[in-house]
Structure 1
């Protein structure tokens, strides 16, 4: 070989080496093949897998470079997995208690064992990310009538791979967590209530024939101060630490047996956070809430952190209509960012309002009401059988499946067959003057009501499933305006006729969700009654090992 040929071969080799060195992070290449890793992926059925976790894709982004082959990298992963307790998840589900031992064992074995461990650690990370983003529990397994598709992965796997290289796993978790202030406020509350649970318990407030009221002087008032202090109120106890040693010394003036104005204000704050009548009087419901074990509030927060993960990006889309079923509230975030709030009446425990994600499509003005089969069978037919005048007294028409009106006297009400009942439009119609409609499989809608007094009740799980909205006419006018409609609601209401449908030029997202702990506008987490008894089954599912 002459000198010129040698120089030519050297140049080709140098160019090839430079090319290989410039393969970017995240690119795949035949030159980067890792045979032990490929064998381990194949053995575990992860090659070309369309399964839940993108393990193969993760290694492709790393040019098949192993990720967990130093003690510091595994320590960083274990430390990060242990922080998932702050999200209400169990670190043991991700082998946080076993990974370091498995790593140390793998280091004394061959390349195949090391690759298998690396995949195990990667799967733990990716499973944690999936649970943070979409929830550990599939909502269809525990929620009746769940009709919302689970979202696809939204976080960047490439950014996760970079975070792994930087040993900054918290950055990776932040990519996956719901990006909402509500989720962070629930996490903070979980930490707070876990701390409260470690303090022991204040004396319980005993049952009484008479409620505790402002102005009372009683030993139970001292106990009330101790319970409220446990739940985070300050300045209610004397400087005598023996009053409640678990809580630090707090100085306040006056006789602690006196139910004074300061204590009344603290009781009202507690009642507001627990969906109780905000009157400053400690009756039976307030007493039960005060005596709740801190551990039960921890469980309640864990359950609702999971629900927040199910909700995911819906929290960030604007404008939107949000029906907080257990909170008996509707919130409408308008395109301007202004928020409109209203009280609502939701389905009773026997006729639950379902979880729905949809978009408001149209309004019905001066609606008639075709009575749903369940209500007709359970509520109306027994009354009609007793007195057929019930139909005329309530402006109800009897119709067949084609919509033709029938004579009630010709119907066998013991076996009515395929007849339906329709209540004509008017002031006594249960739907009122306006219905807000959106596509869903349960025939649920938002509507007006003549029974306005129900909005003054504290517990408003009273309907047959649909949602009655206080101030619905103002709400409907905002929907028309914000969607670009040329119509004014007042003109539509006065135009006469019934069942007029008015389409919104631009649909507005709507979501109905069931949340028994959720932050209010001030950022305080409110605890609600579990009116549909759903928390226990979700908590049990969360506690199952994966």
Structure 2
């Protein structure tokens, strides 16, 4: 049997016993005496214990305080066994085992001798069930409490609805179906198990001490690099002590999986990623599983997926990426982070006008115009009536961020900050996807430079892919709108879900799990919250 290590307070042996015997034990713990379970003492105990939770109290009250778990029927034996089996393996999902306390719950069941005991433990099992169900289906922590820029609306389910649906279902199947039913979640679970196995075996071996290595290099550092690439699965076993063509190709594959420029040189950036520990990668995987639970809903047969730390934007059709482009996201400074949320794309704007956000006007352009009235001269100054104002008529020195009476607007054109097209999914955060004249930024490994919106490397191709569903010749149609040089709104016949996510660990059909840097430090905050909730990294030995 698999042995799970790293469980606090020496619980390993006891938990292993539970894993093997939960179904049998739960079936035998409660004697077949429903007449006792439904006695006055039982109902009083249920009412007393449930009174501390409005949802649980309402559920039991509406069912005349009848037992859910603790009578002697086959149905309730099955529920007990299913719940104990589920919470005893909760760590497989990166959930906090201590929160459900399977060992303590088993002890309470064993010691439930009276009707009152049974009433108390019936409510306790309901509490554990509801906590486990919510944790597995929609996450252990509340995103908005972790970071104000995580504005995702988590699809929380009604707690009484959980009880109603569970009691009407086959218990094991119901509990299995709570987790995200996505290929990504399943792949992350497999990666978690692989990382835990590696952790038990000592990881990927010693770090490479060299700051960088190039093809042709030889010596101990090359051997360390070779061994680490072998342990990670990028290189077949070899006795080579030279950074040869085979190793160069392995480095390229590693770079591909970590969002680095694939030059085959183990420079400082690549070496930093190669030397990341198994523990670091495992944390990323567990956090990614938690994030997957926050998005546990239908995402749309066709949808747009923007992964912020991966600097990519993709169109996904029936679970398969059919278009992908590099992106630039919000800079790593306060006020510029790209938020995480979902919304619906409604239209495309060709030859867009840029109405400069007030924060940029007052924080960036106004200070420059105080020094030089002609600063940012390619952007018009607009008064309250929408008229263009001559800068020569304005004494900028008398204004500050609070009393500046003008707005700023940039006309359509190739120099426009939004480029020649933008993609709108109306939202209160004023975030959208758009073109940019700053093309050189897409060549960088880390592409966090915007004020929060997402810039696309291939915006025209992105537009063609979107319009292909409604135009016979999407390329000709788009170019015709572009040729007018006028701002033109093109509505999508079928609106498209857009999901801005933040995944530092994610899987691809190619095989290896890909990893990215935690550019905003959000994953570190999430891991800290998960750890405080009781989530732990476990090492697994075969």
Coarse TM-score class (shorter-chain normalised): 0.7 to 0.9
The whole-number CA distance in structure 2 between the counterparts of 1:54 and 1:132 is 23
Q: CA deviation at 1:336?
A: 11
Correspondence for 1:514 = 502
Q: CA deviation at 1:118?
A: 2.2
CA contact (8 A) 1:47 1:56 kept: no
Change (3 A) 1:50 1:400: farther
Q: CA deviation at 1:265?
A: 2.4
1:88 aligns with 2:94: yes
Which deviations, in whole Å up to 9, do the C-alpha atoms of 1:485-531 show, x marking residues without a partner? 9982112112242x332322321111111111111242432111000
CA contact (8 A) 2:505 2:516 kept: yes
Change (3 A) 1:425 1:459: same
Q: 2:478 is matched with which residue: 489, 494, 500?
A: 489
Change (3 A) 1:37 1:462: farther
Change (3 A) 1:484 1:116: farther
Change (3 A) 1:148 1:72: closer
Q: CA deviation at 1:482?
A: 2.3
The whole-number CA distance in structure 1 between the counterparts of 2:513 and 2:318 is 26
Which deviations, in whole Å up to 9, do the C-alpha atoms of 1:3-29 show, x marking residues without a partner? xxxxxxxxxxxxxxxxxxxxxxxxxxx
The whole-number CA distance in structure 2 between the counterparts of 1:194 and 1:126 is 28
Structure 1 segments of 4+ aligned residues over 6 angstroms from their partners: 68-73, 335-338, 484-487
Correspondence for 2:266 = 282
Query: Higher mean Cα deviation, 227-236 or 365-374?
Result: 227-236
Unaligned 5+ segments in structure 2 are: 1-36, 535-542
Q: 1:38-187 maps to which residues of 2 (within 5 A)?
A: 38-45=43-50, 49-50=54-55, 56=60, 60=63, 64-67=67-70, 77-106=83-112, 108=113, 110-153=114-157, 160-161=166-167, 168=172, 171-187=173-189
Unaligned 5+ segments in structure 1 are: 1-31, 237-251
Q: Per the alignment, in what secondary structure is the counterpart of residue 409 of structure 2?
A: strand
Correspondence for 1:476 = 463
Which deviations, in whole Å up to 9, do the C-alpha atoms of 1:349-369 show, x marking residues without a partner? 111111121111112221121
1:504 aligns with 2:505: no
Q: Per the alignment, in what secondary structure is the counterpart of residue 215 of structure 2?
A: coil
Which deviations, in whole Å up to 9, do the C-alpha atoms of 1:159-218 show, x marking residues without a partner? 6436666xx3xx33321111100111111111111111111251221133xx31222221
Q: CA deviation at 1:233?
A: 4.0
Change (3 A) 1:36 1:270: farther
Correspondence for 1:436 = 423
Correspondence for 1:269 = 253
Change (3 A) 1:485 1:130: farther
The whole-number CA distance in structure 2 between the counterparts of 1:64 and 1:303 is 37
The whole-number CA distance in structure 2 between the counterparts of 1:365 and 1:34 is 72
Q: CA deviation at 1:75?
A: 6.1
The whole-number CA distance in structure 2 between the counterparts of 1:463 and 1:308 is 26
The whole-number CA distance in structure 2 between the counterparts of 1:235 and 1:68 is 58
The whole-number CA distance in structure 1 between the counterparts of 2:531 and 2:169 is 29
Larger Rg: 1
CA contact (8 A) 1:325 1:514 kept: yes
The whole-number CA distance in structure 2 between the counterparts of 1:45 and 1:104 is 21
Q: 2:391 is matched with which residue: 384, 387, 408?
A: 408
Give TM-score scaled by structure 1 length: 0.81
Correspondence for 1:449 = 436
The whole-number CA distance in structure 1 between the counterparts of 2:170 and 2:533 is 25
Correspondence for 2:326 = 343
Q: CA deviation at 1:130?
A: 0.9
Q: CA deviation at 1:320?
A: 0.6
CA contact (8 A) 1:55 1:123 kept: no
1:398 aligns with 2:404: no
Query: Higher mean Cα deviation, 455-464 or 371-380?
Result: 371-380
Change (3 A) 1:544 1:405: same
CA contact (8 A) 1:330 1:341 kept: yes
Q: CA deviation at 1:276?
A: 2.1
Question: Greater RCO between the two (CA within 8 Å, min separation 6)?
Answer: 2
Which deviations, in whole Å up to 9, do the C-alpha atoms of 1:72-115 show, x marking residues without a partner? 97565434213221211121111123111121222x3x111112
1:368 aligns with 2:329: no
Correspondence for 1:528 = 516
CA contact (8 A) 2:100 2:132 kept: yes
The whole-number CA distance in structure 1 between the counterparts of 2:305 and 2:298 is 9
The whole-number CA distance in structure 1 between the counterparts of 2:519 and 2:230 is 27
The whole-number CA distance in structure 2 between the counterparts of 1:467 and 1:368 is 17
CA contact (8 A) 2:47 2:65 kept: no
Query: Higher mean Cα deviation, 505-514 or 222-231?
Result: 222-231
Aligned residues: 484
CA contact (8 A) 1:156 1:175 kept: no
Q: 1:204 is matched with which residue: 207, 210, 217?
A: 207
The whole-number CA distance in structure 1 between the counterparts of 2:234 and 2:320 is 33
CA contact (8 A) 1:48 1:56 kept: no
Change (3 A) 1:97 1:183: same
Correspondence for 1:29 = none
Change (3 A) 1:523 1:35: farther
The whole-number CA distance in structure 2 between the counterparts of 1:62 and 1:267 is 64
